[in-house]
Amino acid sequence: MTVGIVGLGLIGGSLAKAYKRDPDITVLGWNRTGSTTEFAMLAGDIDGELTPDRLRECDLVLISLYPQATMDYLRDHADDFSKTGIVMDCSGVKREVCAFAFPLAKEHGFTFVGGHPMAGTQYSGYKYAKATLYDRAPMVVVPPVFDDPDFLQRVKDLLKPAGFGRISVTTAEDHDEMIAFTSQMCHVVSNGYIKSPTAARHKGFSAGSYKDLTRVAWLNPGMWSELILDNRENMLAEMDAFIASMNAYRDAIAANDFDALCALFEEGKRRKEEIDG
């Protein structure tokens, strides 16, 4: 089996290291910064450079770039991919990428599948990549068809060496709606919360709650701006709902209304129990 990794940042670098754990898998990699590709080869994390002429060797190509860069790469190499392999992106939004990639793949005779590895850290770059990042982590897959169980099993088999746990199959629309809540809103709230003028004096007064809430405030500004703007309709809906909730808490506090505030807390607690047990 030969796997090609396009983009050797945190996500792609971790994929390369994960697949390289299997001695029977050949891993080829490419990064915009050539020195990163060279370092990955020296470190033994990839077996060689993923040049355009070697794309046809790959049973699986995983594109770990920003959405627009992903679409540019797909367009530029549409005639280079294997006709029997699978090409999958790993970007954090699916509607725009899949709407571009599915017809392109059909036109040029390769198979494209949307993908989103649900794992990461607040850091970015190859130096933070690790082979165990995806062990037991969820993976979301957006296939071109939903009525071919053999094809879906093939996709799962190709992803298995990376260590993923649950693999969820969904549409691009459902993915983006869910990811606005589970990921993008978390980054916006965390990044906004840390801007409090009180934050500079938190040391000695903060513990787990502060650390949990502010972990993803340390983000990649360019990447998250692109992802969120590509998903702005879903994000605006989530932000409006969140702002309405915050206003309800604010009104109860401003009115010194113990019963109203307690009811809001009880509602949130009950909601958490219903959702997560």
* pLDDT band with cut points at 50, 70 and 90 for residue 124: confident
Q: Please say if the pLDDT value at position 83 is more than 80.
A: yes
What pLDDT is stored for residue 21 in this prediction?
A: 97
pLDDT at 161 over 90: yes
Taking the model in full, what pTM does it have?
0.91
Query: How do residues 256-277 score in pLDDT, each as one tens digit?
Result: 999 999 999 999 999 999 999 8
List the CATH code of the domain at 2-170: 3.40.50.720
- Phi, psi at residue 81, to the nearest 5°? -70, 155
Map out the domains of the chain as residue ranges: 2-170, 175-276
Tens of pLDDT, residues 224-248: 999 999 999 999 999 999 999 999 9
Residue 95 pLDDT grade (very low, low, confident, very high; cuts 50, 70, 90): very high
Q: What is the pLDDT of residue 265?
A: 98
The whole-number pLDDT of residue 274 equals 96
* Phi and psi based region of residue 196 (left: phi greater than 0; alpha: psi -120 to 50; beta: remaining): beta
- The partner residues of 30 in beta bridges, in order of sequence, read 6
Q: Assess if CATH 3.40.50.300 describes domain 175-276.
A: no
